[in-house]
Structure 1
Amino acid sequence: MPVTVTKTGGHRAEIAWERGDDPTGYLSHTVESDQLAHALEAVGQPSPAPGEPDEDLAAARQTADLARLLERRAAVQVVQLRDHHQLSWRRIAAVMFESPDRQSSVRRMYESGRRHLGT
């Protein structure tokens, strides 16, 4: 994996990547805009203490923006799994949703991924 996350001790980690690993700039943007920080905070503290309304709105927006980006990227990965690896809908659903019966969800993701790819 070209992007590495290294636990540096205690509750610290370091994220590293090369310029070529982020051709779209999404990764850099998530770090520089604090999207990643806000999303990780939301994961770590599902019910954080309320702060200032504008700050909390900004944090929620950043988290939601990153969640939408991740949904799009996951949909593109489903296209790759299906088209390049010829995996069955059932196998993809079994891994992604822990239920082979969720094939229709995987097909919707596939169609979304195709739209994002422009194909």
Structure 2
Amino acid sequence: MSVTITTTGPGRAEITWTEDDDPKGYIARAVESDQLAYALEALGGGESGPATPETALFAAMHTATLERLLERRAAVQVVKLRDDHGLSWRQIAAALYDDPEKQSSVRRMYDSGRRHLGV
């Protein structure tokens, strides 16, 4: 993986990537639009939160937008795990859900990933 995250100090990190890592510009847009910042803030569960209802709504919108994109990209990864690497539904379910019995959830992701790929 050539996307790298380097810890530069307590509470600080630097993210680097190349154009080859981001041919569709998803990473760049997530950084430039503050989607990544809002999602990381939500992940951290900061107690203060946004100062106004408008800011809180804006933060939630950006977090949800990035979440939907990540869901689509994860579905495409499931297609590659199954089709390119030949992993079983059970193997994928165990990795994604820590439960090999969740094969139907993985199959739904697979179908979604194929739709996103236009297959």
TM-score range, shorter chain: over 0.9
Task: Report what 1:9 is aligned to.
Answer: 9
Cα drift, residue 45 of structure 1: 1.4
Distance 1:79 1:15 in 2: 27
* Aligned amino acid, residue 83 of structure 1: D
Instruction: Please list every run of 5 or more consecutive structure 1 residues that lacks an aligned counterpart in the other structure.
Output: none
Tell me the secondary structure at the aligned position of residue 60 of structure 1. helix
Cα drift, residue 46 of structure 1: 5.8
Task: Report what 1:97 is aligned to.
Answer: 97
Tell me the secondary structure at the aligned position of residue 100 of structure 2. coil
Paired-residue identity, %? 63
- Relative distance call for 1:48 and 1:89 in structure 2 (3 A) is farther
Task: Report what 1:41 is aligned to.
Answer: 41
Give the structure-2-normalised TM-score: 0.96
Task: Report what 1:27 is aligned to.
Answer: 27
* Aligned amino acid, residue 40 of structure 2: L
Distance 1:49 1:43 in 2: 12
Instruction: Please list every run of 5 or more consecutive structure 2 residues that lacks an aligned counterpart in the other structure.
Output: none
Give the structure-1-normalised TM-score: 0.96
Runs of 4+ residues over 2 Å off in structure 1: 46-50
Distance 1:13 1:2 in 2: 16
Deviations 1:74-113 (A, max 9, x none): 0000000000000000000001000000000000000000
Task: Report what 1:83 is aligned to.
Answer: 83
